[in-house]
Amino acid sequence: MENIIRDASIFGIYFLSSNYNVLDSNAMINCSIMVYGYDESEYRNDVDETNTVNGKPVYYMNDRNGITIPGDAGEVLLVGSERCVIKNLHLDKGTVGILLAYSSNTIIEGNIIQNQSMIAIDLGSADNNNTIIQGNLIKENRYGVDLEYSNGNIIRKNRILSNGYGIFLGNARNTFILRNSVSRNTFGVYATKSNTSKIFLNNFYKNYAYGLSVEACAVSARWNWWGAVTGPGPDGNGDMLRVTNHGVLTYTPWLRFPVLFTGTLRVLFMEEFIITPKDSGLKTPKQMFHETQKPNADSLDLFCLKDVNAGKEPVLPKTRITQ
Please give the average pLDDT of every successive group of 10 residues along the chain, which has 323 residues.
86 92 96 95 96 98 98 98 98 98 98 98 94 98 97 97 98 96 98 96 98 97 96 94 95 92 39 31 34 33 31 41 60
How far apart CA 107 and CA 113 sit, in angstroms, is 15
Q: What contacts 97, CB < 8 A, 6 or more positions away?
A: 75, 76, 89, 91, 111, 113, 116, 119, 120, 121, 122, 141
pTM: 0.82
DSSP state of 3: E
Read off φ and ψ for residue 128, nearest 5 degrees.
-95, 80
Check residue 320 and give its pLDDT.
62
Distances (CA, A) of 25 to 29, 34, 77, 79: 13, 17, 17, 21
Q: Tell me how crowded residue 32 is: count the other CB atoms within 10 A of its CB.
A: 29
Burial class (CB in 10 A: 0-12, 13-18, 19+), 22: exposed
Q: What contacts 67, CB < 8 A, 6 or more positions away?
A: 61, 81, 84, 85
Helix (H) or strand (E) holding 303: none
How far apart CA 15 and CA 124 sit, in angstroms, is 14
DSSP state of 173: B
